[in-house]
């Protein structure tokens, strides 16, 4: 096939970038109003603006398939590729099928949002938040199993819609030239879909020994707490005992797992409350972190337009998020800030998104995003890794720090958050890739879900699960059509970034005690990568920040090396694996 003329591609891309920028700004503004002022009218206007953006994006993406290919090495060819990959859900051309697909996703999200269960011993029903609190706080295994089972019933009713959604989504993906929706998602990573699957498996094998050591330690300590009739000596851990509805992070049960003799952790929440720290002051701490790296202060509009506290007069979406409303300098965060250590770290994370958005704002519109979706999450998490005891001392929140050789408790708590997440972050999309490809047919959805979670996570449901259930539907990202692999990649990349920036600033101490706060050298290296956006393939962006072109778990393994040695000692006589 002959190459298309530059004028054909240039005209299409010029039109696409102009229209999509305008419509994206409209959609962002409508979504902001809806998220910060929830009414039926604001919801309708937001949905309408988003639907127009999706329809236009799909039309433009399909228009590119009718043009002969451009020179593969040109920026225009990259823009064409990114245009085809902008959406995670592509509706079929048939108007009725397109409308049905949109309705199916909305219906599944609605059923998820309305999920309720009356917990054991209660009289009123509880939503996901209430049931999650039970998993976090109760130590009665029967109560835990009831809360877990009660929430997972939410998937039953959406199973027929999900089967139909898979069929229609695949039709749309094939119209853009992809084998299926899973292949389309994997194509976003600048490699063939099969090659990306192998890359994910390679990264998992790097971190698996650390996860297995953590799993063995946790299983033994839970066996001590709940008894041998509830927790096996070997084999998978019952998922409902891990303090989280999806067993994706285990820090909630840290009190059951803490080393026998460990110093109390820094109580940042107590410090912030004693100082009467306001939400604005919380954000100022994070802004000063970036200024210390050589970045400019946030624009005045950020302070005028962000939502930092829960309003008293209306309903809002409090889930923390970072916004780039005009894809230039209208940066905002939306968050109901409380004076807690968790929110302090979250704000540093969210401003990581904002400074990334600002850095690539000079790129053409189709390049105004992170190198791949894992990079955006990883940048925010990299900044959060620098919220160390040393950082807190330098900014005057604590007076002194303890020696790093007393950090096993700190590292264990962080591993229960970061390391425990890895196999779950991989499992969600590994299952969906098989579903989209047809390797897992509808009559095996639930069995395959638990097979893959046992294989990677070493967890099992508390009782028998049949095909009458649809347990994947109990995780929001599945009915909402949100790809999940970005979180697995971010949990690898954040440590790779952190290690590289620590080396750039000449740090010599333990990686888990290193903060890049105040390092202009680290800031310059970070900025170089941020400014690239997605103008080049992600290995080039990775090289800019880490000096290497391959994703690697070496940073994560170095960070947790002291903990791994301690876990191996604790597990000396305990069964390993499942």
**Strand pairing class (237-238; 331-334):** unpaired
Give the tens place of pLDDT for each residue, 470-486. Answer: 999 999 999 999 999 99
Q: How far is CA 362 from CA 300, 322, 469, 549, in A?
A: 19, 19, 48, 24
Q: What pLDDT shows up at residue 72?
A: 59
The first and second tokens of residue 291, run together, are 């200024």
Strands (E) located in 316-358: 321-324, 331-334
Q: What angle do CA 277, 281, 284 make, to 5 degrees?
A: 150
The first and second tokens of residue 170, run together, are 């695949």
Q: What pLDDT shows up at residue 6?
A: 61
Mapped onto helix, strand or coil, the DSSP state of residue 281 is helix
Write the burial class of residue 172 (CB in 10 Å: 0-12 exposed, 13-18 middle, 19+ buried): buried
Write the burial class of residue 493 (CB in 10 Å: 0-12 exposed, 13-18 middle, 19+ buried): buried
| Active site amino acids | 350, 477
Residues with pLDDT less than 70, the chain: 1-6, 68-73, 264, 404-405
pTM: 0.93
Q: What is the DSSP letter of 275?
A: T
The first and second tokens of residue 87, run together, are 């959406």
Q: What pLDDT shows up at residue 104?
A: 92
**Strand pairing class (331-334; 321-324):** antiparallel
Mapped onto helix, strand or coil, the DSSP state of residue 392 is helix
Mapped onto helix, strand or coil, the DSSP state of residue 334 is strand
Question: What are phi and psi for residue 444, nearest 5 degrees?
Answer: -125, 15
Q: What angle do CA 477, 439, 159 make, to 5 degrees?
A: 45
- Nearest-angstrom CA–CA distance, 452 and 260: 34
175, 165 Cβ separation under 8 angstroms: no
The first and second tokens of residue 464, run together, are 């028998």
Q: What pLDDT shows up at residue 1?
A: 42
Give the tens place of pLDDT for each residue, 238-282. Answer: 999 999 999 999 999 999 999 987 776 788 999 999 999 999 999
Beta-bridge partners for 307:
334
Closest CA to 573 of 214, 215, 209, 217: 217
């Amino acid at each position: 096939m002959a190459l298309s003329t530059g004028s054909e591609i240039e005209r299409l891309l010029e039109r696409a970038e102009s229209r999509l920028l305008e419509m994206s700004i409209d959609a962002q503004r409508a979504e902001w109003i809806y998220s910060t002022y929830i009414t039926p009218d604001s919801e309708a206007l937001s949905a309408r603006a988003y639907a127009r953006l999706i329809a236009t994006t799909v039309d433009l993406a399909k228009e590119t398939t009718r043009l002969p290919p451009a020179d593969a090495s040109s920026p225009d060819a990259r823009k064409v590729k990114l245009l085809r990959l902008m959406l995670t859900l592509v509706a079929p051309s048939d108007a009725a099928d397109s409308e049905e697909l949109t309705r199916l996703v909305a219906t599944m999200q609605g059923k998820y949002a309305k999920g309720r269960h009356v917990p054991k011993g209660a009289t009123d029903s509880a939503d996901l938040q209430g049931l999650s609190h039970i998993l976090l706080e109760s130590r009665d295994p029967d109560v835990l199993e009831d809360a877990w089972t009660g929430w997972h019933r939410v998937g039953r009713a959406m199973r027929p819609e999900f089967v139909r959604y898979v069929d229609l989504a695949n039709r749309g993906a094939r119209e853009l030239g992809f084998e299926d929706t899973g292949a389309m998602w994997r194509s976003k990573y600048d490699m063939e879909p099969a090659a990306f699957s192998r890359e994910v498996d390679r990264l998992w094998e790097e971190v698996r020994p650390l996860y297995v050591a953590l799993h063995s330690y946790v299983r033994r300590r839970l066996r001590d707490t709940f008894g041998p009739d509830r927790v096996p000596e070997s084999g998978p851990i019952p998922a409902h005992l891990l303090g989280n509805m999806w067993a994706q992070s285990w820090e909630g049960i840290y009190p059951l797992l803490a080393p026998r003799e460990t110093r109390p952790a820094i109580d940042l929440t107590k410090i912030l409350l004693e100082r009467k720290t306001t939400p604005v002051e919380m954000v100022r701490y994070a802004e000063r972190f970036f200024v210390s790296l050589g970045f400019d202060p946030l624009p005045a509009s950020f302070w005028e337009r962000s939502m930092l506290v829960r309003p008293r007069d209306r309903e809002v979406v409090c889930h923390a998020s970072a916004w780039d409303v005009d894809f230039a300098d209208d940066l905002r965060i939306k968050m109901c800030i409380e004076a807690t250590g968790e929110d302090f770290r979250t704000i540093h994370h969210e401003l990581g998104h904002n400074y990334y958005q600002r850095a690539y704002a000079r790129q053409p519109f189709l390049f105004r995003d992170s190198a791949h979706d894992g990079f955006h999450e990883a940048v925010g998490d990299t900044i959060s890794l620098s919220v160390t005891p040393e950082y807190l001392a330098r900014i005057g929140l604590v007076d002194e720090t303890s020696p790093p050789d007393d950090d096993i408790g700190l590292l264990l708590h962080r591993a229960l958050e970061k390391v425990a997440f890895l196999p779950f972050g991989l499992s969600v999309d590994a299952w969906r890739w098989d579903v989209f490809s047809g390797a897992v047919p509808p009559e095996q959805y639930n069995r395959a879900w638990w097979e893959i979670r046992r294989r990677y996570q070493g967890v099992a449901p508390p009782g028998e699960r049949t095909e009458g259930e649809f347990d994947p539907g109990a995780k929001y990202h599945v009915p909402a059509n949100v790809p999940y692999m970005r979180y697995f990649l971010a949990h690898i990349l954040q440590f790779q970034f952190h290690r590289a920036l620590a080396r750039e600033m000449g740090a010599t101490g333990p990686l888990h005690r290193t903060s890049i706060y105040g390092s202009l050298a680290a800031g310059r290296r970070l900025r170089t990568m941020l400014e690239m956006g997605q103008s080049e393939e992600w290995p080039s962006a990775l090289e800019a920040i880490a000096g290497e072109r391959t994703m690697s778990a070496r940073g994560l393994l170095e960070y947790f090396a002291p903990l791994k040695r301690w876990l191996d000692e604790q597990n000396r006589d305990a069964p390993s694996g499942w």
